[in-house]
Amino acid sequence: MAGKPESDYKKLTDEELILLFQKEDVSAFNELVYRYKDRLVNFIFRYTGSREESEDLAQDTFIRLYKSKHLYVEIAKFSTWFYTIALNLTRTFLNKRSKFKTTSISNYYDEEEKDFDLESGGLLPDDIANASNEGDIIQRAINSLNEKFREVIVLRDIQDLDYEEIAKITNLPLGTVKSRINRGRECLKIMLESIHKPKTKK
Amino acid sequence: MSEEEKYPEIREKLRSLETIKASGDFTRNLQLRIVEEESSRRKEHVKKYDLEKGGFLRNLFTNRQYPWLIPAIGFTAVIFFVFYITFLSRTNLITESSLSSGDSKKETVQSENGTLHEEKKETQDKTPENITENSKKPDEGNSSVNKSSDDRENTVSKPQTTENKKPIVSSFDNTEKSGNENMKMKKDVGDNLKEREVFSKSGDEKLSAEESPETDADKATVPEMSAPESSKDKTVTDEFKGKGLLLKLDKINKAGLESLRNKINN
């Protein structure tokens, strides 16, 4: 099966490639890696905010695809199925990471000193100071978003997937997806305005 | 206003973000990881295959695919053990009962002919044949079955001696070569014959009376011996084979003695 030239694989759709890979055609898998590696790394990086972790998670996703290729059914779009794998792996990774993360320092002080609580879902002054350009600021704003909004915003506005596909990937109703996207954008707007306002005032 | 048109600035900003590309060694690292995964999977497969190969007990106690096998086998083992014990106890009971019934029968027969047996035993013990027999027998007093078989042998041997006179005499004549030995033999035989004559004269009447109850006793004991119920019967049959040989020797001796007696009388 691996006798096809590379140009033939480039003409094939994702679904055709995965079907070929199910018949032990490794060249089809290589073509899928070539097509999706950048997209996947970008998606995971925007979701996690870490370059190294995004590459590791992208490789994990491809390994999962390699191992469980037989689980793909032709009914669904390949990109939907593949992004679902990536999203689940990233979610579990973030859950594991959040276990080691301290969210509040109020546990170490009295009730009166609760002013030390950090606000969740906002940009820190250090983030703004460390951000070298607007892209970094936006990325930090995305990272500070709630996970529910972040995943749909990344899938819609960065990966450019349609609503229905996002609904299938996140396993949410279409209306919920739309509302979450709107609320996420609203949160981002507020955060970015809060950054730019002091600058304009000065 | 549609949802797409709500926050166009934010959408534009997000779309204008730089796309992060995978590093140059991404595919190489991925291939290495895939190779590692494949090798680990093969190792697991080999381990599993080895487990499947490694003996019944090892599979039983290490394979967790069929955990119900352990209690099932244990239960069956217990059942087999219980059946085995019950079977053994039953066989023991049967053999004991058969032996006890046999003993009781013999006891009854012996009690009927007790006096006759005792007298006969006394006479047999005095004869040289029985002395030799007694010296050959390893454990005569152990079983009552042996006693009854001895009685039967004695009763059966008498008519046969008269029939087998001629061939045995010829064989005895062939053996008469050395004169001293013959003389000794003659003396011994003469003494024995004298004793026999005395016993035969006094006991002829008794023996004729003894023969009929003995046959009855034999009839009573024979089915017990031939019954293939237990291993003890086998040992009894083996003893009978040994007794058969002794019987033949006895016949030969008696025939020789009678031929000598005839010669002396002549």
- Kindly report, residue by residue over B28-79, the tens digit of the pLDDT: 999 999 999 888 888 877 776 666 666 666 666 666 667 787 888 889 999 9
Domain assignment present for residue A61? The answer is: yes
pLDDT at B64: 66
Yes or no: say if A24 and A69 are a contact pair by the CB < 8 Å rule: no
User: Does residue A115 belong to any structural domain of this protein?
Assistant: no
Contact across the interface for B10 and A67, Cβ inside 8 Å: no
Q: Which of B10, B23, B34 sits opposite A189 (nearest CB)?
A: B10
Distance CA B40, CA A67 (A): 12
**Domain tally, chain A:** 2
Closest to A79 (Cα-Cα) out of A30, A39, A23, A130:
A39
Q: A61 and A87 in contact (C-beta within 8 Å)?
A: no
Give the gap in angstroms from C-alpha B46 to the nearest C-alpha of chain A: 18
Residues A184 and A131 placed together within one structural domain of the fold: yes
Residue B206 in this model has a pLDDT that exceeds 80: no
Cβ neighbourhood burial of A5 (10 Å; 0-12, 13-18, 19+): exposed
Q: Which of A46, A58, A63 sits opposite B22 (nearest CB)?
A: A58
- Contacts with A166 from chain B: Cβ below 8 Å: none
Residue A163 domain-assigned?
Answer: yes
B157 pLDDT higher than 70: no
- B63 neighbors B51 (Cβ within 8 angstroms): yes
Mean pLDDT of chain B: 66
pLDDT number for residue B189:
59
Give the domain range for residue A166: 122-195
Distance from C-alpha of A140 to C-alpha of A128, rounded to nearest angstrom: 8
Please give the residue that has the higher pLDDT: either A161 or B206: A161
Q: Identify whether residues A23 and A72 lie together within a single domain.
A: yes
pLDDT at B224 over 90: no
Residue type, B202: S
- DSSP code of A11? H
Has residue A178 been placed in a domain? yes
Contact with chain B for residue A59, Cβ under 8 A: yes
Residue at A107 is within a domain: no
Question: How close is the nearest chain B Cα to the Cα of A60, in Å?
Answer: 9
- Greatest Cα pair distance, chain B, in angstroms, is 158
pLDDT at B29: 93
Cβ <8 Å between B37 and A66: yes
CATH number at residue A147: 1.10.10.10
Q: How far is the alpha carbon of A76 from chain B, nearest alpha carbon, in Å? A: 25
B9 touches chain A (CB under 8 A): yes
B6 touches chain A (CB under 8 A): yes
**Do the beta carbons of residue A185 and residue B13 sit within 8 Å?**
no
- Residue A134 sits at the chain B interface (C-beta within 8 Å): yes
Dist CA A54 CA A37 (whole Å): 11
Per the listing, tokens 């301290």 go with A102
**Same-domain status, A128 and A74:** no
Q: Check A63 against B33: CB less than 8 A apart.
A: yes
Cα separation values, B75 from B60, B71, B89, Å:
15, 6, 21
Q: Of A98, A132, A160, which one is at a domain's C-terminal end?
A: A98
Residue A12 shares a structural domain with residue A80: yes
Q: B80-96 pLDDT, tens per residue?
A: 999 999 988 888 888 87
Residues A62, A26 share a domain: yes
| pLDDT tens, position by position, B93-140 | 888 777 777 666 666 655 555 555 555 555 555 555 554 554 444 444
Q: Give the CA distances from residue B212 to residues A77, B74, B101, B152, B216, in Å, rounded to whole numbers and listed in that order.
A: 110, 62, 23, 11, 7
Specify the range with the lowest mean pLDDT, choosing from A58-67, B52-61, B248-257: B52-61
Tokens of B233: 């019967």
Q: How far is A43 from chain B (nearest CA, A)?
A: 8
A66 reaches B (C-beta below 8 A): yes
Does a structural domain hold residue A162? yes
Q: Which residue of B has its CA nearest to A66?
A: B34
Domain-located, residue A133:
yes
Q: Tell whether A92 and A145 lie within a shared domain.
A: no
Is A59 close to B30, i.e. CB distance below 8 A? Answer: yes
Give chain B positions within 8 Å (CB) of A67: 37
**Is the domain of A24 the same as that of A91?**
yes
Kindly state whether residues A20 and A86 are assigned to the same domain.
Answer: yes
Nearest to A55 among B9, B26, B34 (CB): B26
Residue A41 in contact with partner chain B when CB distance is under 8 A: yes
Give the closest-approach CA distance of A64 to chain B in angstroms. 10
Answer yes or no: is A201 within a domain.
Answer: no
Interface A-B, measured as beta-carbon pairs within 8 A, has a size of 76
CATH number, domain with residue A18 = 1.10.1740.10
Chain B residues near residue A54 by CB distance under 8 angstroms? 20
A75-84, A193-202, B4-13: the lowest-pLDDT one? A193-202
Asked if A46 and A83 sit in the same domain, the reply is yes
H or E element in which residue B231 lies: helix B231-265
**Are A146 and A77 part of one and the same domain?**
no
Interface membership of A46 toward B (CB under 8 Å): yes
**CA neighbours closer than 13 Å in the CB half-sphere of residue B180:** 0
A50–B contact, CB cutoff 8 A? no
pTM of the prediction? 0.49
Q: For testing the chain A interface, which of B1, B5, B20 should be mutated: the one with the most A CBs within 10 Å?
A: B20
* Model pLDDT, residue B237: 63
CB contact B19 to A (< 8 Å): yes
Structural contact between residues B157 and B247, judged by C-beta atoms closer than 8 angstroms: yes
Are both A23 and A86 inside the same structural domain? yes
Closest residue in A to B33 (Cα–Cα): A63
Nearest CB among B11, B21, B30 relative to A157 is that of B11
Cβ-nearest to B10 among A45, A135, A188: A188
- CA dist B157 and B247 (Å) reads 8
Rounded mean pLDDT of A58-84? 91
Task: Give the residue from A50, A55, A150, A176 with the most B CB atoms within 10 Å of its CB, the best one to mutate.
Answer: A55
